[in-house]
Amino acid sequence: MQAWLRSDLMPIRQERSAEVVFYGLRGAALTPAANAAAQKLFSAAATLLSSDAASLFGTRCIADTDLTLMLNRLILNGDPVPSKLVDYAMRQ
């Protein structure tokens, strides 16, 4: 999960740096490549999380931290994120 978040979703990382999370800096609208990566992220995360899951694998782990950071790059920028994933990120 962590390797996938760091390698396959590079367009999100390029357009929504961690500065969005730590400093509140906002970016322009996502490009088509970053939007496609975001949809891939949402699909994978929704598949791995049951409707009320507090963590990915039954017990909180470092992968939850990485996923939450990736989701918050979008959430804190004001990008549309499915409410189930926003709820998960807020619980983390």
Q: Cα 81 to the chain's mean position, in Å?
A: 8
Q: CB–CB of 89/75 below 8 Å?
A: yes
Mean pLDDT over all residues of the chain? 93
Closest among 54, 80, 77 to 67, alpha carbons compared: 54
Domains of the chain are: 2-91 (1.20.1050.10)
- Bigger pLDDT: 77 or 58? 77
Q: pLDDT tens across 7-17, in order? A: 999 999 999 99
- Please report, as a single letter, which amino acid is at residue 47: T
pTM recorded for the entire structure: 0.93
**Residues in CB range of 88: below 8 A, 6 or more apart:** 45, 49, 53, 54, 68, 71
Q: Which residues of 17-50 are buried (b: 16+ CB within 10 A; e: fewer)?
A: eeebbeeeeebeebeeebbebbeebbebbeeebe
